[in-house]
Amino acid sequence: MPLSSKCWRRLLLCALIIPFHGIIITGPARAAIEPVAYQGLRISGHSIVRNDDGSWDQYQVRDAGGQYEIVKRTSQNSGLGWGPYTHQTNIPNDSGTIVSAIKDATGEIQMHFVRVRGSGASPNVTLFFDLYQTRSSNGGTEWDPVQVVFEGYVSDMQQQTLLSSGRILQPFHTFVPVAPDDPPTGRSYSSVLYSDDRGATWQQSPDQLLTP
């Protein structure tokens, strides 16, 4: 389902605010198609999920002696203190350190991260930052194999949003080297991936916000 121009304007406002504050919480993104059921928070690559009991779970990527893994720690006092990190699942060693996590309508975790492909200094020509996903099952005790949901050069990935219908939104920003770079077009654009089946499959909205 394409996003309306009103939704895109408000998502753009989020995209302009987020880089300066480093976090995303509810606000302008609440206007995306339908009421927002849940939205997490991201700080410097970490992703925080709020639980029904008021506790916070913080997810991040860590190098565990040569094996990249996603770990979690929990705070019972709104981030003033944290428990120990616990292993969640392994991810490929060529992954980046920025994650986007959210609880879906069933309480399982949807996790996105960026994986490096290629090399060199030419974005989306020889060097790619693909967007990957995994999700938990059985109350967070098991994780699906990772799958690629977008191939290209993801230069920024924002926090996921869960809508009241169960649809999950994943905003991101990418670079297209072959596009004209003069206004009103541009070589960068913001877009949204969405899933209506709890992250099993993902579609990209046909709408794009171009940046000169």
**What tens digit of pLDDT does each residue of 175-186 get?**
888 777 777 777
Q: Which of 25-29, 98-102, 105-109 has the lowest mean pLDDT?
A: 25-29
- What is this structure's pTM? 0.77
Give every CB contact of residue 210 below 8 A, 6+ residues apart in sequence. 179, 184, 185, 186, 188, 189
Mean pLDDT computed over every residue of the chain: 81
Is 38 a residue whose pLDDT tops 60? no
Q: Which of 160, 33, 30 is nearest to 98 (CA)?
A: 160
By CB atoms closer than 10 A (0-12, 13-18, 19+), residue 194 is buried
What's the whole-number mean pLDDT along residues 131-146?
Answer: 95
pLDDT digits (tens, 9 = 90+) for 61-98: 988 888 999 999 999 998 899 999 999 999 999 898 88
Q: Please report the pLDDT score of residue 118 as a whole number.
A: 94
Is 192 a residue whose pLDDT tops 90? yes
Q: Which of 30, 21, 23 is nearest to 47 (CA)?
A: 23
If one compares 141 and 15, the residue with the highest pLDDT of the two is: 141
Please give the span between the terminal C-alpha atoms of the chain, in angstroms, as a whole number.
26
**What share of the chain in percent tops pLDDT 90?**
58
The CA-CA-CA angle for residues 138, 144, 149, to 5°, reads 135
Structure-token pair, residue 158: 């924002």
